Amino acid sequence: MAFVAFKTVFSGTRLQTEFHLLANLKEFFGGLWVCDMETFDILPHFAFLLLVFLVFLAAVVSTRNSEKNAHFKMLNLFVLFASACVFSAATILQGSGWWAPRTVYPLASVVGVLTINTLVNHRSSPGAAAIAHTAKVLSVAAVATLLVVQYFGFHKLYIDKYKLNALDENRCYYVGQAIAEYEATSGIKVRKIAFYADAESAVPAYPNLYSHSGDLICSSFNQDWSDLNALNYYLGDNYSRAEPSETYRTYFAGRNWDALSAQQLIFDGDTLHLCIY
């Protein structure tokens, strides 16, 4: 149903025209396990899976001691789990998305959703066992623990993001200084920049930063829609993009830097050939 909806109702340029069910199923379940187990290295490995298990167990216990029909309550729990997976499953299976943070948000919300559902909808009957109350306390404690651990994880992530932005800015000024020196000695005004890559991209782009692969900490120089914009923004200029030369493409592909170097900048007339390590 999700595939049909994406193809007919929500069709657009971001959607794939081909549908490879088996490959996409493998991508979905493999990515689901990695996301829940590693949690993008924001939480300790397996911590999220453990919290989900504890909260789900608490929800089951509360359901069995609820005033309402236990069978319908159990069905409600499974519907909540399925709902958390709908967006991720639809985008991954259809092939139009990947395990980016925005795809994972619904999955990550399942702990809070289950806890709220337990507290609001699973009101214990007067004669319910003390274990039902304990289960609710456990749910709240699990969410509180998750919030505390997440705070420290995201604190490091966003501090590293500020560091990354500062280092990207410094790289722009480094390139700007090299351009100024070339223009002063050659008398030629640089108007175009061509971008290249060396043999292997450095991950992370700068030492000692958050390095989990993905979209969380990404240098502006690692994307072709932001590399030139970053230079123009920080240098206050309006350089245009030049087509890469096959000669320089081959030359840079044979190098492998892990730090900024003057050898990554080659000037040819009014064009700067810039290699992104």
Helix, strand, or coil here: 255?
coil
Spatial distance between the Cα atoms of 20 and 253, rounded to a whole number of angstroms: 33
pLDDT of residue 202: 78
pLDDT of residue 153: 86
Contacts of 44 (CB under 8 A, 6+ apart): 149
Contacts of 4 (CB under 8 A, 6+ apart): none
pLDDT in tens, 211-256: 776 667 889 998 888 999 999 999 999 999 999 999 999 999 999 9
pLDDT in tens, 191-208: 999 999 999 887 778 888
For the chain, which ranges sit under pLDDT 50? 17
Enter the tokens of residue 205.
Answer: 């782009």
Does residue 90 contact residue 150 with C-beta atoms inside 8 Å? Answer: no
Domain residue extents for the chain = 2-128, 171-276
The DSSP bridge pattern shows strands 192-197 and 271-276 to be parallel
Does residue 258 contact residue 199 with C-beta atoms inside 8 Å? Answer: no
Element (H, E) at 102: helix 101-108
Maximum C-alpha span of the chain = 90
Contacts of 113 (CB under 8 A, 6+ apart): 80, 84
pLDDT of residue 38: 86
